[in-house]
């Protein structure tokens, strides 16, 4: 039984990954802010850890206190947010900071908090939920794309630092996944348009891949996998749905 820490476990992709590890008999700590969702996960037997990961100033200290010396075997750096799509010239400065801290800085800090223990143990597996937006240009999502590109660069370089110590690193390069990600920034009609015409990847599909990758023998590191709807073109319709500015 592995100890698994999943950030952004209260919803969407992270929740599906957390539940998949839990169903496979592992001990899962679920991190998020949504108290109702955390209580629901707690009732299922997961350990709920309520934290605002966007508040990066004291993140390392709070995480260290929460985990004590309990270094997870698996870390899934999944928490993330997207600001309202739109032209960068019109972007709110607060949204820039929120995306950088929530999508990038916190994942680096959470990783920093657990890797010394994994290195000492000589084993571990760290996943990052990246995005196809980090690997191809997307209009109206410049900062989101930048955070995901940086996350991918961090993951691939981190793999080189950790590979001598038996710690695996996997970047999940996700295309369109039907989740609540855009619920606060697009109208229901815009969200429906975003998923129309495609059969979106479901959070459970991503979780199934994560479980398969993790189940590979310890000498195999799947350093990245891309998971896209079969019908998704390389350039997504995110901008078309939300980029009206």
Active site residues per annotation: 144
CB of 91 to ligand NAP, least distance (A): 17
Binding residues among 132-191 for ligand NAP as defined by CB under 6 A: 174, 176-177, 179-181
Beta bridge partners of 124: 167
Among 29, 47, 99, 102, binds ligand NAP (CB under 6 A): 102
CB of 222 to ligand NAP, least distance (A): 17
| Residues in contact with 81: Cβ distance below 8 Å, sequence separation at least 6, in sequence order | 54, 98, 99, 102, 103, 181
Tokens of 22: 């839990």
CB of 58 to ligand NAP, least distance (A): 13
Q: Rounded to whole angstroms, how far apart are CA atoms 237 and 142?
A: 14
DSSP assignments along 180-222, one per residue: GGGTTTS-HHHHHHHHTTS-PBPHHHHHHHHHHHHTS-TT---
Binding piece for ligand NAP, criterion CB under 6 A, among 8-16, 66-74, 88-96, 153-161:
8-16
x-or-dash string of contact with ligand NAP, 64-83, rule CB under 6 A = --------------xxxx--
Beta bridge partners of 224: 171
Is 30 in contact with 47 (CB distance < 8 Å)?
Answer: yes
Beta bridge partners of 5: 29, 75
User: Does an H or E element contain 127, and which?
Assistant: strand 124-131
Select 60 or 123, whichever has its Cβ closest to ligand NAP.
60
Binding residues among 116-135 for ligand NAP as defined by CB under 6 A: 129, 131
Among 233, 174, 156, 157, which residue's Cα sits nearest to residue 16? Answer: 174
Binding piece for ligand NAP, criterion CB under 6 A, among 2-10, 40-48, 61-69, 212-220:
2-10
Binding piece for ligand NAP, criterion CB under 6 A, among 3-11, 60-68, 83-91, 112-120:
3-11
**Binding interface with ligand NAP (CB under 6 A):** 8-14, 32-34, 37, 51-54, 78-81, 102, 129, 131, 174, 176-177, 179-181, 203
């Amino acid at each position: 039984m592995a100890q698994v820490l999943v950030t952004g476990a209260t919803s969407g992709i992270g929740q599906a990954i957390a539940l998949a590890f839990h169903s496979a008999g592992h001990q899962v700590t679920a991190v998020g802010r949504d108290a109702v969702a955390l209580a629901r996960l707690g009732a299922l037997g997961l350990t709920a850890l309520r934290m605002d990961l966007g508040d990066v100033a004291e993140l390392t200290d709070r995480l260290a206190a929460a985990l004590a010396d309990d270094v997870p075997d698996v870390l899934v750096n999944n928490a993330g947010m997207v600001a309202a799509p739109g032209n960068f010239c019109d972007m709110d400065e607060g949204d820039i900071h929120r995306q950088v801290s929530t999508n990038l800085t916190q994942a680096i800090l959470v990783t920093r908090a657990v890797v010394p223990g994994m290195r000492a143990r000589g084993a571990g597996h760290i996943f990052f939920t990246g995005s196809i937006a980090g690997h191809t240009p997307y209009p109206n999502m410049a900062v989101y794309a930048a955070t995901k590109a940086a996350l991918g660069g961090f993951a691939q370089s981190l793999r080189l630092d950790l590979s001598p110590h038996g710690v695996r690193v996997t970047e999940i390069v996700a295309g369109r996944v039907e989740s609540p990600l855009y619920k606060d920034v697009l109208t229901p009609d815009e969200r429906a348009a975003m998923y129309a015409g495609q059969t979106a990847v479901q959070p459970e599909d991503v979780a199934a891949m994560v479980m398969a990758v993790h189940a590979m023998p310890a000498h195999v590191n799947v350093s990245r996998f891309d998971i896209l709807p079969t019908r998704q073109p390389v350039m997504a319709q995110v901008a078309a749905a939300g980029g009206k500015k």
